[in-house]
Structure 1
Amino acid sequence: MSDPLSGLPLSSIRVFEAAARLNSFTRAAEELGMTQAAVSWQIKALETRLGLSLFRRLPREVRPTEPGERLSRAATEAITILRRAFAEVTEVDQGVLTVTTLTTLATQWLAPRLGTFQLANPGLAVRLDTSPTIVDLARSNVDVALRSGDGEWPGTEAALLMPSVFVPLCSPVLCATLNLQRPEDLLDAPRVGDEKEWAAWFANAGVTPPTTPATRLRADIQGLEVAAALGGQGIALGSPILFAREIAAGLLTRPFPQTVTLSQGYWIAWPEDRRRSRKIARFRDWLLAEAAADPAIIAAL
């Protein structure tokens, strides 16, 4: 039986995979550093060799045909495996660990601890990516992700890092000014953050949520909302784990003990096919040990 890959250049498979994944010859050309005409020519040559139409040409995009879809899935998986294999044997890659993480988790919890990891691993540099885009670990060169959710992401394995608990936080001056005595006192207080999250906290505290919004500010990043609370602008829902230092220093106060859980936790995740990568294993083991020893996490469990 003849080899169906015989005579098929890897470059044409790579071009086909990018075009199918992006649904565009133009975007595939941009990703691969080629011209759109070169991409179109390689796809046409591949279709001619296979005797199959791999794409439906639409006015503004291309879509894989049924055989094209089957080949696309296999090509993406194969190229991902090749990319990982080359990355793991490349000395430069072994010297850099790329971590995608939530901004507040990075600034409030991870960054202050990274020094101890780097002292123990002087040959390994850590690069933090705090882009809000959720990175597909199975198709990228990112090594580790720290994210919030249920711990279930395709192509990854994950371990729970810490619970996702939130409490009202404000400056001591504002707490005294408002004379906060009971959870229902927050109904008329200036609040910062998402009204749905506040409604969940009020419900946990046994208080009927307000019918009219009273939030002054809402941000996509928890750290920005708590920064407003630090400045005396209102009461924010924040993590007592991530802001444990500010609470201990008296910069923030936690007027009430009631908490609300907004997700199933913060997790460390890594590609399942790279679980044995030495740099990933070193970082994972160190991070989980740091979390297990954190008094704020222990108190929240």
Structure 2
Amino acid sequence: MHLPPFQSLVAFEAAARCGSFLAAADELHLTPSAVSHRIKAIEAWLGVSLFERQQRQVVLTAAGRDYLAEIQPALARIEAASVALQRPGSRVLRLSVAPAIGAKWFVGQLAAYREADPGVDFVLSTASTMAPVAAGKADVGLCYGEPPWPGLEAYELRRETVFPVCSPALAARLGSPPTVAALAGLPLLRHPLLQWQPWFAAAGLARPEPGEGPLFEDAMMMLEAAAAGVGVALTVDLLARPYLAEGTLLRPFPQHVAGKAFYAVLRPDAYAQPWIRRFVRWLQARARREDAG
């Protein structure tokens, strides 16, 4: 086989993903000069420049971007195959999960799936985007949103409804019974995927999208802040259930609006594997059963 040095491939992938030789060196437990030497070696072997060297970072050339897109999934498959051999009899599914859906839903399903398919083991990580799936670092991603994710396939798990929640202390400030007009005196917590304006309209308020108030990238952190009395948060049923059951959050208003959906997202080559396809279909059936129940 006519292959470049494997250590140089690993160094190139790490530097491309991290955006610097220094960060790649930290990850690989090498010196920056060793990373640079390995990348120069693969550039010499290929006969092309893979990076443009700038003052404090490195940027992929067009050839580097094309090469990364080809080798990254291959390296990820080598890693997965090696892990599987270290655990005889098991397949290893690398799952990248949005933090909130991981903590508030998927971990509650894990024991049931391991009982249903004991030959599958999991490597779990969290990410707020589908970049690990696209890069071949994860086999399946679980997230909230709407397709398309370019180059990936999305399989809907469940549609969501969106509504406000708040702590019991803040709920008391909304009146008895609560009035939507009283929201004007309370902080509104914000999330990029959950807009207030559609809910305002459903509740009969002519009010624009709020431009201030704490903005959270992590939906679970936002719900924790709401439970701590920081403000009123918009959320979806799947994530709110544990808080509502515990009484740490209340749903003060009946109005709700249609939201996005939770999806299993994966590359076509991953879905082509029967055991991964079986996992996705099991998740879909599990989510439907919860909705029906």
Aligning the two structures, in what range does the TM-score lie when normalised by the shorter sequence? Answer: 0.7 to 0.9
The question of whether the paired residues in 1 share the 8 Å contact of 2:84 and 2:91 is answered with no
Q: Deviations over 1:215-258 (max 9, x none)?
A: 6x664443444445556665432323333355467665433332
The question of whether the paired residues in 2 share the 8 Å contact of 1:164 and 1:261 is answered with yes
- SS state at 1:292 partner: helix
Q: Deviations over 1:178-205 (max 9, x none)?
A: 4354753333453441298333321232
2:196 to 195, 198, 206: 198
If you compute each CA radius of gyration, which structure gives the higher value, 1 or 2? 1
1:222 to 219, 223, 232: 219
RMSD of aligned Cα (Å): 4.0
More off after superposition, 228-237 vs 156-165? 228-237
The question of whether the paired residues in 1 share the 8 Å contact of 2:152 and 2:266 is answered with yes
| 1:239 counterpart residue number | 236
| 2:254 counterpart residue number | 257
Q: Quick one: distance in 2 between partners of 1:249 and 1:21?
A: 41
Q: Quick one: distance in 2 between partners of 1:94 and 1:46?
A: 34
More off after superposition, 130-139 vs 106-115? 130-139
More off after superposition, 99-108 vs 42-51? 42-51
| 2:120 counterpart residue number | 124
Q: Quick one: distance in 2 between partners of 1:106 and 1:29?
A: 30
| 1:167 counterpart residue number | 163
Q: Quick one: distance in 2 between partners of 1:178 and 1:53?
A: 62
1:147 to 143, 147, 151: 143
Q: Give unmatched runs, 5+ long, in structure 1.
A: none
1:57 equivalenced with 2:53 (yes/no): yes
Instruction: Map residues 90-101 of structure 1 onto 2, 5 A cutoff.
Output: 91=87, 94-101=90-97
Q: Quick one: distance in 2 between partners of 1:174 and 1:40?
A: 56
The question of whether the paired residues in 2 share the 8 Å contact of 1:87 and 1:93 is answered with no
TM-score (ref. length: structure 1): 0.73
The question of whether the paired residues in 2 share the 8 Å contact of 1:151 and 1:159 is answered with no
* Code of the aligned partner of 1:208: A
- SS state at 1:118 partner: helix
Shift of 1:123: 4.1
Q: Quick one: distance in 2 between partners of 1:113 and 1:144?
A: 15
Q: Give unmatched runs, 5+ long, in structure 2.
A: none
The question of whether the paired residues in 2 share the 8 Å contact of 1:268 and 1:284 is answered with yes
The question of whether the paired residues in 1 share the 8 Å contact of 2:18 and 2:24 is answered with yes
Number of residues of Structure 1 aligned to a counterpart in Structure 2 = 291
Report % sequence identity: 32
Q: 1:207 to 1:81 in 2, by over 3 A?
A: same
Q: Deviations over 1:251-284 (max 9, x none)?
A: 654333322345x322111232111335433321
* Code of the aligned partner of 1:255: P
| 2:99 counterpart residue number | 103
The question of whether the paired residues in 2 share the 8 Å contact of 1:20 and 1:64 is answered with yes
Q: Deviations over 1:151-199 (max 9, x none)?
A: 3223422111222422123456765664354753333453441298333
Q: Quick one: distance in 2 between partners of 1:265 and 1:218?
A: 21
Instruction: Map residues 75-86 of structure 1 onto 2, 5 A cutoff.
Output: 75-76=71-72, 78-80=74-76, 82-83=78-79
Q: Quick one: distance in 1 between partners of 2:56 and 2:230?
A: 48
2:5 to 9, 14, 31: 9
Q: Quick one: distance in 2 between partners of 1:208 and 1:269?
A: 36
